[in-house]
A and B are shown apart, each in its own frame.
Chain A
């Protein structure tokens, strides 16, 4: 079984839960404590794909969240095959910034694929969730595999987001 390494970036505004998603996926834990990521944090996890015999070694780049005053450094995105673009369902402005993040990522990596993760679903009421999900559905760009509602705290769809991305990166 061959192992292929792929670079994956997590992009989004600050405090949307990028680091928490990675921790949940890689270490299987969640912490309420908020620690801002400075610069870059890199994690790694090997994913076994059900569909193919390949193993994927995901090199996950946790990139410092962007703010109005400090945009994401495009150099960090270079050479990525996939990205999870994260928005916080409880903060509308983070969802508003999603298209900008998507554009930035695909500008840097035109052949990459991405998944949009709408995070913190645990603190959103059910009916609002449906509505927000409808409002933020980025299906126009074929390179966006899907938009998925996640919760790092409740471990909702976290593994699915990463594995689905991984599967699509191999195909792409």
Chain B
């Protein structure tokens, strides 16, 4: 049997067409249990591996790559080939290897076939089985040696083949080309895997030219070829050098945007809308809200009171509004790095229940990323409402600020956050960007800035403010009330006082008969009494001044006399009446009996004024009457005499003689002539008879004349019976007796 096997192997080694190899590779799963019978079968395979060939090592998946490289290193040492024909030699080696490989595969399969056959036979003949095993082992050893020999001889053959090839190359290039073509790609590939650097160097020299050439020949296909990797290569470049790409593109960015706007404006608007549109709409909404609020509040009672309080405390009204809704309180402020979500700085005024800042910051960052990524790319999350809490977010640069607030914050507060953030980014932007989680790298002033932001709305300040504001408010109210009521009271007091003074003035002026006919008005202010109006003469003006100045003195005021004296032509009727009235009054004086006649502003006075003093008085009174310009006196200083005597018979008291009776006429005439005079009737008797008789007689005689005169139509008031001496004063006793028996008349001013 061993002989036949031997022969078979020889045959197989010589045969050109290899037997199709069976799959003898181990399963990928190394833990699968192989049946024990196949164990020896693996041996030839294993032997084959040991040959200094590369093929086996490549096919075995279990081997590590390091082993492969070792093999590669061996290869160039074993065969030294002149450099120019290296690729050719390589390919020849390959061909040889392939052939060898196929052979070995064939041998292995043949052996395994034989094994199976042997084993099958062994069932029948157990003795021969042992022998066979021994034989196989021997055979394997032999074959191993032979394989080595074979490889050795093949190595020796290679230079010969190369020589042949070079001769052939010279002889017919075309033919060689034909032969080479199928292997060129493989040759390059192999060479690349052997020495990448050299291969790259070789190609590198022609590559730029080649590319530019290709671009010239067919630019489109070149574009297509590069296109898919363009994005990736830019990304890679950004990774390698962050600034390079932006630097390269930066200068052209403006132009590009401009060009794009020119080309397609709408598309550009659409593209920018989510960013700019949102920013503007957000800004506008906030502004309108603010304006609206101001308008709503500015005219209300709260608005006005707030304005006053703001002025009192010396802060802006807006700030006051902020404080008014003071339920709002800052719980925490975090300055967070945008990407990593690490806390750069934090402020938590409430020390009793601090928030887990790291977790909050991380979660907020995740939420921001999520919103940014999955909802609207490029937009910013600005606030999170959570029951009574609100988390205000403002992002800028490499960080964002998160303010946890309980209650409803005012829009002004958001402005403050923005200001704070921009201040921080401006000052510490680089430190924030390069923050690696070490709080020591952040200057302490950052915390101060954040504290400042938190400070405004903390409770203690607001309470202090309120405590302070309460008495101030009270005082304010008092001052306001005082400032309103005090002047009002003074005003009222003055008004009442002025009214009283005016009434007094009016009464006083009215009391004066000369002024009562005029409409005089008075006004009273703090220092002065002003009287206005028009009167007929300066005299009246002075009269009024005299009356009012008394009142002014009482009230301690200055008098401002603005009465205008108008020279009004007086009513002649009134003047005449006045003249008559004054004349009658003057007639009451003793020795005055006048009649005044007013005509053409002239008063003519007739009658009797018996003494000089009375004449002056009369003149002054009459001339003072308005409308009287001239006084003419036509008065007598002595009374006239009436000589008429009515005679009686002896012891008689009746008027019997008609002549005597006629004398009454003369009396009548006298009284008519002198209307201002009256007459005394005086009776007389002769010296005879008794005295008592005569007394009775003279009264009877006077009475008889009186009765007769009345009977004649004389006014009884103008006659007066007077009892005098019995004998008449002008009759002497030597004259006849009858002369004494008469009644005489004597005029008098009544």
Alpha-carbon gap, A127 to B372, bound state (A): 47
- Asked whether B239 is an interface residue with its Cβ less than 8 Å from the other chain, the reply is yes
From known contacts A5-B358, A40-B363, A59-B358, infer whether A75 and B369 are also in contact, taking CB-CB under 8 Å: yes
Q: Which residues of B contact A5 (CB under 8 A)?
A: 342-343, 358, 437-439
Q: Which residues of A contact B366 (CB under 8 A)?
A: 39-40, 42, 61, 76
Q: Which residues of B contact A107 (CB under 8 A)?
A: 239
- A128:B358 contact, CB within 8 angstroms: no
Q: Which residues of A contact B464 (CB under 8 A)?
A: none
- B369:A44 contact, CB within 8 angstroms: no
- Asked whether A4 is an interface residue with its Cβ less than 8 Å from the other chain, the reply is yes
From known contacts A78-B339, A78-B340, A79-B339, infer whether A42 and B437 are also in contact, taking CB-CB under 8 Å: no
Alpha-carbon gap, A5 to B374, bound state (A): 28
Query: In chain A, what residue has the closest Cβ to B374?
Result: A73
- B338, B373, B437, B439: the one contacting A81 at CB < 8 Å is B437
Count of residues in A whose CB is under 8 Å from the partner chain: 26
- A78:B343 contact, CB within 8 angstroms: no
- B436:A4 contact, CB within 8 angstroms: yes
Interface string of A1-34 (1 = CB under 8 A from B): 0111111000000000000000000000000000
Alpha-carbon gap, A67 to B236, bound state (A): 26
Chain B nearest CB from A126 CB (Å) reads 11
Chain B nearest CB from A71 CB (Å) reads 12
- A42:B372 contact, CB within 8 angstroms: no
Q: Which residues of A contact B372 (CB under 8 A)?
A: 75
- Asked whether B273 is an interface residue with its Cβ less than 8 Å from the other chain, the reply is no
Chain A nearest CB from B507 CB (Å) reads 98
- A73:B370 contact, CB within 8 angstroms: yes
Q: Which residues of A contact B436 (CB under 8 A)?
A: 4, 6, 81
- B31, B356, B369: the one contacting A76 at CB < 8 Å is B369
- Asked whether A110 is an interface residue with its Cβ less than 8 Å from the other chain, the reply is yes
Alpha-carbon gap, A43 to B342, bound state (A): 13
From known contacts A44-B358, A57-B358, A131-B31, infer whether A7 and B342 are also in contact, taking CB-CB under 8 Å: yes
- Asked whether B362 is an interface residue with its Cβ less than 8 Å from the other chain, the reply is yes
From known contacts A2-B440, A76-B366, infer whether A44 and B356 are also in contact, taking CB-CB under 8 Å: yes
- B369:A78 contact, CB within 8 angstroms: yes
Alpha-carbon gap, A3 to B685, bound state (A): 165
- Asked whether A117 is an interface residue with its Cβ less than 8 Å from the other chain, the reply is no
- B31, B340, B356, B369: the one contacting A7 at CB < 8 Å is B340
- B359:A7 contact, CB within 8 angstroms: no
Alpha-carbon gap, A40 to B366, bound state (A): 7
Chain B nearest CB from A134 CB (Å) reads 9
Of residues 348 through 397 on chain B, the ones whose CB sits less than 8 Å from some CB of chain A are 356, 358-359, 362-363, 366, 369-370, 372-374
Q: How many A-B residue pairs have CB under 8 A?
A: 76
Alpha-carbon gap, A131 to B29, bound state (A): 10
Q: Which residues of A contact B341 (CB under 8 A)?
A: 7, 59, 61, 79
Alpha-carbon gap, A79 to B372, bound state (A): 16
- A3:B439 contact, CB within 8 angstroms: yes
Of residues 19 through 34 on chain B, the ones whose CB sits less than 8 Å from some CB of chain A are 30-31
- A75, A110, A131: the one contacting B30 at CB < 8 Å is A131
Query: In chain A, what residue has the closest Cβ to B337?
Result: A79
Alpha-carbon gap, A75 to B381, bound state (A): 15
Alpha-carbon gap, A160 to B486, bound state (A): 87
Alpha-carbon gap, A59 to B358, bound state (A): 7
Alpha-carbon gap, A107 to B240, bound state (A): 11
* Interface size class of chain B, counting residues whose CB lies under 8 Å from the partner chain: 20 to 34
Of residues 29 through 88 on chain B, the ones whose CB sits less than 8 Å from some CB of chain A are 30-31
Alpha-carbon gap, A131 to B343, bound state (A): 43
- Asked whether A80 is an interface residue with its Cβ less than 8 Å from the other chain, the reply is yes
Query: In chain A, what residue has the closest Cβ to B340?
Result: A79
Interface string of B694-705 (1 = CB under 8 A from A): 000000000000
- B369:A73 contact, CB within 8 angstroms: yes
- B342:A59 contact, CB within 8 angstroms: yes
From known contacts A4-B438, A128-B31, infer whether A110 and B239 are also in contact, taking CB-CB under 8 Å: yes
Q: Which of B343, B437, B440 has the most CB atoms of chain A within a 10 A radius of its CB?
A: B437
Chain B nearest CB from A165 CB (Å) reads 14
- A39:B342 contact, CB within 8 angstroms: no
Of residues 135 through 151 on chain A, the ones whose CB sits less than 8 Å from some CB of chain B are none
- A44:B342 contact, CB within 8 angstroms: no
Of residues 74 through 111 on chain A, the ones whose CB sits less than 8 Å from some CB of chain B are 75-76, 78-81, 107, 110
- B342, B356, B373: the one contacting A79 at CB < 8 Å is B342
Query: In chain A, what residue has the closest Cβ to B359?
Result: A42
Q: Which residues of A contact B362 (CB under 8 A)?
A: 7, 40, 42, 59, 61
Query: In chain A, what residue has the closest Cβ to B344?
Result: A5
Q: Which residues of B contact A80 (CB under 8 A)?
A: 340
Q: Which residues of B contact A131 (CB under 8 A)?
A: 30-31
Q: Which residues of A contact B363 (CB under 8 A)?
A: 40, 42
Alpha-carbon gap, A16 to B249, bound state (A): 43
Q: Which residues of B contact A81 (CB under 8 A)?
A: 340, 436-437
- A44:B359 contact, CB within 8 angstroms: yes
Of residues 392 through 406 on chain B, the ones whose CB sits less than 8 Å from some CB of chain A are none
Alpha-carbon gap, A19 to B366, bound state (A): 17
Chain B nearest CB from A75 CB (Å) reads 4
Alpha-carbon gap, A147 to B366, bound state (A): 28
Alpha-carbon gap, A80 to B140, bound state (A): 61
Chain B nearest CB from A42 CB (Å) reads 4
Of residues 425 through 457 on chain B, the ones whose CB sits less than 8 Å from some CB of chain A are 436-440
- B437:A4 contact, CB within 8 angstroms: yes
Query: In chain B, what residue has the closest Cβ to A73?
Result: B373
- A127:B31 contact, CB within 8 angstroms: yes
Alpha-carbon gap, A59 to B337, bound state (A): 13
From known contacts A5-B437, A44-B358, A131-B31, infer whether A75 and B337 are also in contact, taking CB-CB under 8 Å: no
Alpha-carbon gap, A76 to B373, bound state (A): 10
Chain A nearest CB from B160 CB (Å) reads 43
Chain A nearest CB from B245 CB (Å) reads 15
Chain B nearest CB from A72 CB (Å) reads 11
Alpha-carbon gap, A99 to B343, bound state (A): 31
Alpha-carbon gap, A59 to B363, bound state (A): 11
Q: Which residues of A contact B239 (CB under 8 A)?
A: 107, 110
Q: Which of A4, A42, A43, A76 has the most CB atoms of chain B within a 10 A radius of its CB?
A: A42
Q: Which residues of A contact B340 (CB under 8 A)?
A: 7, 78-81
Q: Which residues of A contact B437 (CB under 8 A)?
A: 4-7, 57, 81
Q: Which of B338, B341, B356 has the most CB atoms of chain A within a 10 A radius of its CB?
A: B341
Interface string of A47-58 (1 = CB under 8 A from B): 000000000010
Q: Which of A2, A78, A79, A80 has the most CB atoms of chain B within a 10 A radius of its CB?
A: A79
Query: In chain B, what residue has the closest Cβ to A80?
Result: B340
Interface string of B556-600 (1 = CB under 8 A from A): 000000000000000000000000000000000000000000000
Alpha-carbon gap, A80 to B338, bound state (A): 11
Alpha-carbon gap, A116 to B337, bound state (A): 27
Q: Given A7-B362, A40-B363, A76-B369, list of 13 further CB < 8 A pairs?
A: A5-B342, A5-B343, A5-B439, A7-B341, A42-B366, A44-B359, A61-B366, A73-B369, A73-B374, A76-B366, A78-B339, A78-B340, A128-B31
The interface of chain B, by Cβ under 8 A from chain A, is 30-31, 239, 337-343, 356, 358-359, 362-363, 366, 369-370, 372-374, 436-440
Interface pairs (11), CB distance under 8 Å: A2-B438, A4-B436, A5-B342, A7-B341, A42-B359, A42-B366, A43-B359, A59-B341, A59-B342, A61-B341, A79-B338
The 8 A-B pairs at the shortest CB distance, nearest first, are namely: A79-B340, A79-B339, A78-B339, A42-B362, A5-B437, A75-B369, A40-B366, A7-B340
